[in-house]
Structure 1
Amino acid sequence: MGIFKRKDSKTSIQTDKDDFDSGSAHSGRTSNASLKSPSYRSNITLPVSIPEVPVPNPPDPNLDPAGYLRSIHAVRERSRIVLEKAKQNRLNHFDVDMTKFHATASYVVSIIKRDYGSDYQSIPPHGRWQHFDVGGRPRIVQLLQSWPSRIDSLERTRRLVDLFVISVLLDAGAGNKWSYKSKESGKIFNRSEGLAVASLEMFKSGMFSSNPEEHCQVDTAGLRKITVTALAKGMQHSDQNPLEGLEGRHGLLMRLADALGNQKLFGANGRPGNMVDYLLSHPTTLASSVPIVTIPTLWSVLMDGLGSIWPSSRTQVEGVSIGDAWPCSSLPQSPPAELWESIAPFHKLTQWLCYSIMVPMTRLMNIHFAGTELLTGLPEYRNGGLLIDTGLLTLKDEDMKRGVEAYKANAEVTGQPSMEVVPMFSADDDVIVEWRAATVGFLDELLEEVNRQLGLHGEDALTLAQLLEAGTWKGGREMAAVSRPNTKEPPIMIISDGTVF
């Protein structure tokens, strides 16, 4: 991870694949603190001053409630209402022990110090890139180096965005019984890293491409030729090695194929990576010494361009599907409140996608992003599980009983082993929605407390993306392994349809 370096007052520009070598770093440009965009070591020095870029406000929820709930701004704003109730121990499904908050932050600090010492600037932003490198093998760097030098940085970026989009969308929870044996190394991986390696090897084999001369791309025609059977084979799914939500993942890929038909965003051949060209030519993109793209512009591409991939059964407002957004009893209820006020939006996979594809765009083309502070912590079971396993949140007895009964019923149907029983709920259950909203809010609070305990502030303070990468997500996984060593499952199980978590 040494090639990753958080922004400081002097950073550097990189221009081609040679920048992926582990040569010495050179500093030379000053940057704007508000961008919160990571920088990377390079062998080229170029002084650049990055100007301020205004970030647009969200739609007015009273005039365009669906547009507001689909905006990135709404995730934090709605979750903060639930957070304030949590801090007063007024949640409907969880007891909150705020005396455990300091200890939770201290545990996160211990994880960061253990893995990074005091070299906090080396912490990379949270993203899919690190999952590809599981086991210490730099698979993405090796992939880049395998392409001929005639492939320019723009096409390299398109290809990585193709890969990262498909990999993130296949990254819903895999379940506790599934694993993937790498065809290249013979090593076995599970969970998110297993899904990453599986998607990379399928990508390299040309599974997502319609061009027999170029395997390393994703396009509409390539996706449409994928069957459930082919996906199952690529993922090594079987009765003995079951991948949760296989059909849901396949349906997601088919809907993605349709969404990529938007030629304005994804080009004539329908490649996710063509969004790079769209972003660079967008009127809100500042063509300064380096390209500066606003997060709302990127967010609009992902939400509007890919919005149709989410199941139509999800929450709708005024006939518009909102995506990963759900009614929450801890928010104001209608009436007298408006309908939109009772909905908690998360857009977890879209945010995970946003975090992930910014890395190759920044690293290969030095694109900077204005407004990254709008992105929130990811409301999934590792970050949320940390809050439960440290005792900050405790599921109330009535919900615990209901969830355990659901877990046992599910075990009987699917043949899952009845061990380490934990409560189980569907993704739209109010327990899960409240848990996720509280998670988003507490991650912001933890960022502030972790930086305080580390003595970091201003330019030196960790970003939320770094906290997720080095602390909460990793800490949540490690706590699960200690608390439930046989399965390493989260403290609450979520029934997955292959499109959430």
Structure 2
Amino acid sequence: MTILPQDYLRTLSSIRDRCYQVYEKAQQGKLCYFDIDETKIDKIVDHIEDLTHRRFSDVSKIPPHSRLRHLGETYEEWRSKQEPGIELARKMVDLVIVSVLVDAGAGQQWKYTKKDGKQIGRSEGLAIASVDMFLKGYFAGDDATDHVDANGLSRVTVERMTKGFQVSDSNPMVGLEGRSQLLNKLATVIQDQPTYFPVTNGIVRPGNLIDYLLDDNNKENAKTIPIEKLWKAVMSLGGIWPARIEIEGVQLGDVWPCTCLGDASPDNLVPFHKLSQWLTYSLIEVIESCLDMTVEGVEQMTGLPEYRNGGLLVDHGLLTLKPEVAKRGGAGADGALPSFEGSDPAIVEWRALTVVYLDKVHKAMEIRFGQKLKLAQVLESGSWTAGREIAAKLRPDTAGPPIVIQVNIILLYPQIKRHIFFIGLIYVYN
């Protein structure tokens, strides 16, 4: 049976398939933007192995890469008060979906002050802020503190989010309006898709995804859920993202043309679905820990092609921008880093190679430790943290990536009438 391009490019299998087509071009010396030195792979694995030993005394107990790592003690507190089961799973899905959607570059200045007075920024700060807002009823129509629902999401405003994220003139946040609008759109999407988010107990909520997964075929005695079923539900959220490439009226999401794969056609498009995979990894952990079930087919998931994982490969010399490409990006003798918009084909090639080399690092780590590891464990143990660590060492002033990704916020949110550029693979990469 022939699968249409617009359907194929939204599947999990298409991500690894197309990224390996880019890798084949690399093996043929036909990349357009990067040179490769595979002798540096061992150096990368050395770094991750050392970091893993520093962070985890028992390799077999490395947790998966998931938003739950950033939610503090919240999950364990909830588990201590509520038995694992369907309602706890719904509650965790509510929180995880909202928390992942607000997890985007907040800017270098923003910090969130916790109850103990400690200030924390970046992804971890956004996570703790999302938990606190959840517990204050920010995302529930009746200000309930035990769920998220469509009514609550629809009434999220910039003013409400400003208060929740502690934003002020002295503590500015990039993309606050975009975060608010994403949550408003989430309300519409879950209301419009009762198949994946059925009404339960009279409420439309993200957590009702659990009821879709546990349909009549799975409620009795079943111990597994296929990854394809979960992925369909995650991809059903596509309506919240800005419109970009489409085929036959179908918005493709985080899918981009790659120059080395030829001229413009569906055959040169490379899918990544980075934020959708980040959400899926997080939902897998919720499902398996709350429901005592196994999600089958997780090996179809890929490494996340974002700037920490990709930056690790560049900073260790495995990937190097071709001189003329670096010059086009503004790299110079004054130390300026190359800079490209997120849609630039150089960034697409970088992301595709990142997916492939994370696979290779995964296999090498299994050999080093003499045991099977999930890719999500290697990401956590981990490639992402190693990318952050070497960035801080090489660029202590910013701790940013070796290649700057510019995102023009007007392209994301046309109603915003000023140009803002900031670093990171954010909403543009859903």
Unaligned runs of at least 5 residues, structure 1: 1-59, 408-418
- Pair 1:120-2:59 in alignment: yes
Q: Is the 8 A contact 2:84 2:291 kept in 1?
A: no
495 and 251 in structure 1: CA distance in 2 versus 1, 3 angstrom threshold: farther
Matching residue of 1:308: 239
Unaligned runs of at least 5 residues, structure 2: 410-425
CA apart distance, 1:463:
1.1
- Partner amino acid, structure 2, of 1:96: I
Q: Is the 8 A contact 2:155 2:184 kept in 1?
A: no
CA apart distance, 1:246:
2.0
Q: Choose from 134, 140, 148 the match for 2:75.
A: 140
When the two structures are superposed, what TM-score results if normalisation uses the length of structure 1?
0.77
C-alpha separation between the residues in 2 aligned to 1:402 and 1:271?
Answer: 47
| 1:146-184: CA deviation from partner (whole Å, max 9, x where unpaired) | x5x5x77211110110000000111122232222111x2
C-alpha separation between the residues in 1 aligned to 2:400 and 2:154?
Answer: 34
- Partner amino acid, structure 2, of 1:479: I
- 2:195 aligned counterpart, secondary structure: helix
C-alpha separation between the residues in 1 aligned to 2:170 and 2:32?
Answer: 39
- Partner amino acid, structure 1, of 2:213: L
C-alpha separation between the residues in 1 aligned to 2:272 and 2:247?
Answer: 15
- Pair 1:281-2:196 in alignment: no
- Partner amino acid, structure 2, of 1:291: K
Matching residue of 1:402: 328
- Pair 1:229-2:138 in alignment: no
Matching residue of 1:66: 6
- 1:206-225 to 2 correspondences below 5 Å: 206-212=137-143, 214-225=144-155
Q: Is the 8 A contact 1:172 1:500 kept in 2?
A: no
C-alpha separation between the residues in 1 aligned to 2:166 and 2:24?
Answer: 44
Q: Choose from 178, 182, 195 the match for 1:264.
A: 195
Q: Choose from 241, 254, 262 the match for 2:184.
A: 254
- 2:106 aligned counterpart, secondary structure: coil
Matching residue of 1:20: none
C-alpha separation between the residues in 2 aligned to 1:240 and 1:426?
Answer: 28
- 1:439 aligned counterpart, secondary structure: helix
Q: Is the 8 A contact 1:286 1:292 kept in 2?
A: no
- 1:263 aligned counterpart, secondary structure: coil
Matching residue of 1:484: 395
Matching residue of 2:18: 78
Q: Choose from 83, 88, 105 the match for 2:45.
A: 105
CA apart distance, 1:420:
7.1
Q: Is the 8 A contact 2:135 2:146 kept in 1?
A: yes
Q: Percent identity?
A: 43
When the two structures are superposed, what TM-score results if normalisation uses the length of structure 2?
0.89
| 1:163-212: CA deviation from partner (whole Å, max 9, x where unpaired) | 00000111122232222111x22211111111111111111111001123
Matching residue of 1:205: 136
C-alpha separation between the residues in 2 aligned to 1:302 and 1:396?
Answer: 37
Matching residue of 1:436: 351
Q: Is the 8 A contact 1:267 1:274 kept in 2?
A: yes
495 and 120 in structure 1: CA distance in 2 versus 1, 3 angstrom threshold: same
Matching residue of 2:317: 391
- Pair 1:129-2:63 in alignment: no
CA apart distance, 1:330:
2.0
- Pair 1:470-2:381 in alignment: yes
C-alpha separation between the residues in 1 aligned to 2:93 and 2:126?
Answer: 17
Q: Is the 8 A contact 2:158 2:177 kept in 1?
A: yes
C-alpha separation between the residues in 2 aligned to 1:194 and 1:357?
Answer: 20
Q: Is the 8 A contact 1:404 1:424 kept in 2?
A: yes
- How large is the Cα RMSD of the aligned pairs? 2.1
C-alpha separation between the residues in 2 aligned to 1:139 and 1:86?
Answer: 44
Q: Choose from 222, 232, 254 the match for 1:324.
A: 254
- Partner amino acid, structure 2, of 1:371: G
CA apart distance, 1:475:
0.6
| 1:25-53: CA deviation from partner (whole Å, max 9, x where unpaired) | xxxxxxxxxxxxxxxxxxxxxxxxxxxxx
| 1:369-400: CA deviation from partner (whole Å, max 9, x where unpaired) | 11000000001111101001111011222322
CA apart distance, 1:224:
1.0
CA apart distance, 1:250:
1.9
- Partner amino acid, structure 2, of 1:276: I
| 1:408-429: CA deviation from partner (whole Å, max 9, x where unpaired) | xxxxxxxxxxx97422222211
